[in-house]
Amino acid sequence: MHAMWQCPAARDVWTGSIRVVQKWSSAEDNFLVLWEKFMDKLSEKELELVAVLMRLLWLRRNSFIFEKKFKDPNSVVCTTRAVIEDFQEARTHEVKITSAANMGSGSQRWIKPIQGFIKANWDASTNTRNLGLGIVLRDEVGEVLACACFKKPPVSDSSLAETMALWQAVELSHELGFNRVILEGDA
């Protein structure tokens, strides 16, 4: 709570971000109470910004403690906005791809997991220079819960590439605390 809200260095970042939040008291020491306040007072877009900003504040703290690297408040705010824009662009792009795929004949459609489960889809792509891994986690209504991509050194075997993508999907699911997961790939 201290690193994301109460710390003077964190307060500097909040001052440069969301106007509504700038004047709020930093005395709150219960995360759930603070989050409820955010939910009551902020729009959905502002909540997304708060969530990303909190994550980047935590990463900033770790970078300072473990790597002795300091990131100024403006760079954290700019990075937060860039992450949000990238996420929104990816969601828009995903909708266009899904719509285009559904129009083609014989195309595969994403099938929802049963209630109470999430579905982790993964894929791998490789060439002589890179191995790209992509993962998307969705709930039973199709909402994207998380997504990730990784760039790794190339591998010569496509089965190994797909296995590495599967492993990353398992690790991401575990890291986020999902334990009722259906894993689905195309290999």
* pLDDT per position as a tens digit, 115-149: 899 999 999 988 888 889 999 999 998 889 999 99
Residue 175 forms part of a structural domain: yes
In a domain, 112, yes or no: no
Has residue 136 been placed in a domain?
yes
pLDDT the model gives residue 107: 53
Asked if the structure places residue 93 within a domain, the reply is no
Which residues of the chain are under the pLDDT cut of 50?
95, 97-101, 103-106
Do residues 142 and 82 share a domain? Answer: no
Query: What Rg do the C-alpha atoms of the chain give, in angstroms?
Result: 19
In terms of residue numbers, what domain contains 77? 2-87
Q: Is residue 124 part of a domain?
A: yes
Instruction: Based on the fold, state whether residues 77 and 124 are members of the same structural domain.
Output: no
The number of distinct structural domains making up the chain is 2
56 shares its domain with 132: no
Please give the pLDDT value at position 126: 85
Q: Is residue 132 part of a domain?
A: yes
Q: How much is the pTM?
A: 0.50
> Which residues, 6+ apart, have CB-to-CB distance to 49 below 8 Å?
17, 18, 80, 81, 84
Give the pLDDT confidence score for residue 117 in this predicted structure.
93
Q: The CATH number of the domain where 154 resides is what?
A: 3.30.420.10
At which of 68, 87, 106 does a domain end?
Answer: 87
Cα distances (angstroms) measured from residue 69 to each of 38, 59, 60, 72, 139: 30, 11, 8, 10, 37
Task: Find how far residue 63's CA is from the centre of its chain.
Answer: 19
Q: Please tell me whether residues 137 and 76 are part of one structural domain.
A: no
The answer as to whether 126 is a domain residue is yes
- CB-based contacts of 160: which residues, under 8 Å, 6+ apart? none
- The identity of residue 122, as a single letter, is W
Closest among 2, 58, 60, 51 to 30, alpha carbons compared = 2
Instruction: Give the pLDDT score at 174.
Output: 93
127 lies in the same domain as 180: yes
